[in-house]
Every structure is written in C-alpha cells, then in structure tokens.
Amino acid sequence: MKELTYGTMIAVFEEIFGRSLFWVMVAVAAAVTLAYLFVLIRDRAISWRKFLLAQLSMPVGAVAAVLFVLRVTHSGLRDIGGPIDVIVLLAVAGIGAVGLAILVYTVQSLLRPGRDGI
C-alpha cells in the first residue's frame, strides 16, 4: 500500500466491519448529519439547555463506541499492542462521544421544537 486513497480506506473499513454493516453505519451517519443540519437551519440558534444535555451523554457515547469496535473486531483491551492502538481507541472514543452528542441534540430538537429561553 504505497498510497492512501479513499478507495483503500473504504476497502479497509469494509474488511473490518463487513460490507453491509459499514454501509449501514455510513447511511445512519449521513441521516443524523442531515437531521442535525435541518435542526440548526430551522431553529437558527443553538439551544444551550439541549446542548448541555447532549454533552452529558458524551461519556456514554465514548464507551459505547469503543465497546462496539472491540466487539465487531473480536478484540479486547488485552490486545492493545502499542501506542498506535491507544491512539486509534482514543479516536474511536472521541468520534463516539461527538456522534452521540449530535444525535442526542438532534433528537431533543426534533421532539421538542422551539427555542429555550437560555
């Protein structure tokens, strides 16, 4: 692998997660992103109360993402071999935390539209 291309990355992720699970995750991420953009455009402001509740969910998202990746790859924390493995797991945790925060904020805004007084 001399060059890192999008095609190579897609092939690697399909190999890790399986073709169908990978594309389902991509579709869910795209749907949540579009819903989040819809909410931001519709409300024209961020509700700080909803934002705080979304931030409180971030540790749950971080742990869930790491456990999900460990489960799908049939690995465990005992399989961490070096610094790059720790960096990858921290990146997975960060992505899971941000992803769940966006999902929680979006769901709150879709279920209770309107602006809060804060």
Alpha helix stretches (DSSP H) within 1-118: 6-17, 19-43, 48-56, 58-72, 83-111
Q: Which of 6-15, 33-42, 88-97, 106-115 has the lowest mean pLDDT?
A: 106-115
User: What are 31-52's pLDDT values in tens digits?
Assistant: 999 999 999 899 888 888 899 9
User: What are 51-65's pLDDT values in tens digits?
Assistant: 999 999 999 999 999
68 closest CA partner among 100, 41, 42: 100
Domain parsing of the chain, residue ranges: 6-111
Q: Is the model's pTM score more than 0.85?
A: no
36 within 8 A of 105, measured Cβ to Cβ = yes
